[in-house]
Structure 1
């Protein structure tokens, strides 16, 4: 499995650094040799399918599971063996875990009281967090009087109140109704930008990762597959798994023959002039296809491909087709009034498919 990792300059001794992290549950390796970093004021999203090790990685950073190899460094301190309370972390669990018998203000101030912060400092910090999370008018309410989105903001304010070195968010929007997630995602992005705190988010939602993370760490089967900016993962995925999981795209190996590329075992030849061409750090040429990479062709012609329609789904402004060409399944987005039979002939939309070609 290939791994691609961005290596921008980072400030030594600040933020979060995870180096060659390995976690085992008995004989099962839950996370293996994972390395990533989060700078102050940066948000990194960890994403991957169920069981890939993303929650294990977050729990290891928090000190909730033992580490069998590697190190965790926070603000220049090696905290690999420290208890969670001594790490300087703010943790927002998936269920928010707000105290039902406490008011919003009391929930936010709980960590400061546990640390015996002076009363004046505690009250000032609670007021600041209420303002940041737009909960000032709800300070006296109990959690059962709040919406799910409001409880999420209480948990975030409580985690930030202690001024942690790193903020850890475990599936922060998963408990919310789909109708609420878009608005809360935008609110969360704005609040995180205002904190200046290094933030690590675990999510299974591709949209959340793309919108919240300045960089994304994509895991599979306990290993890091690619760690880079959202744009790089979108435009230059390390492998077919990254392309499919993050962007619902297909990555095909191709052979170039003068001014054409051949894919699908040579049954599909596409003129290079019909493709967008982008340099890649990988050593082979590949064709990146998305649902909007195709148009319907009237008949046979240069660069067209005949494919069997296996599924059709109406999506309002478009029909989403799943088609099979040889042994590959492709997604195609067509106009809602398109006439679809048992098979379709496809052509590449001008510039809609990308030829990833190695640097010269």
Structure 2
């Protein structure tokens, strides 16, 4: 992330403008249907507005906003970005949907829906730190499509699974941007985050897997049929473009709000910042991590800040990459996501606050 000027002088007018934009981001997607149906352009407009109000436009920022959707991480020197993964997997499903869906339905019939749900959430939650949060999210969305669930239950399964993937991806620096930034800023090794928060994250992923198995219920899978594939090639390409716009918008939004983070959030006591970090439900958690976490913090402070960011990222669609991918594929609205994500996120935040700060 580009980040705000480290010694940018506090300006009440800029702060007021940014808080107004923050309120618009929090309210309009739930109140205005057109906004809810067009989150990507809305967040792009809000991101442009935030950077303009902050006065932080630069060539470096523009390049970062354009590059980040296609280069979030690297594997063997090859750039991996959410845009190309969503597009490539979308094209594979488009041309080979019968084979892919037949395989998934076959596995589902053999295992039963409860065991299948548990396995999917747990396995992808734990391996997302290795295969990356992007790949996990795209595969997860396709798996959710074949599950014989009513829409409400399917959305609930997807939200639970995205919480698990978001948590698990934070265990290594190749899992997601947040973990990459934290390890780099603290100058630590590959296994640092596993040792730091693994005792919290790994059991949480397993519990989420169990919870997903309970919530999907005892739906019969004996008569399940291969779902009909109805997407056109244009739909596949447009979805990848919309995801590209969403990620670019979050880069701009994170940079635009950097003064607020620098002036106010980074100076809050750790027990309070844990709860304030719920803003990562709409802001890029990597940007917040870059501003908050550094070698001057104690281990307890780092744990609290990290867990607050990771958990709250699952609460709303913009909070995490898997949320964006899954919501786009299954056409989940902000309101639908929030009804499940916010209560679950608040419950997890409460539990971990007790574990980290009180016990």
Whichever structure has more helix as a proportion of its residues is: 2
Higher strand share: 1
Determine if the TM-score, normalized by the shorter chain, exceeds 0.5.
no
User: Higher RCO, 1 or 2 (CA under 8 Å, sep at least 6)?
Assistant: 2
**TM-score, normalization by structure 1:** 0.20
Larger Rg: 1
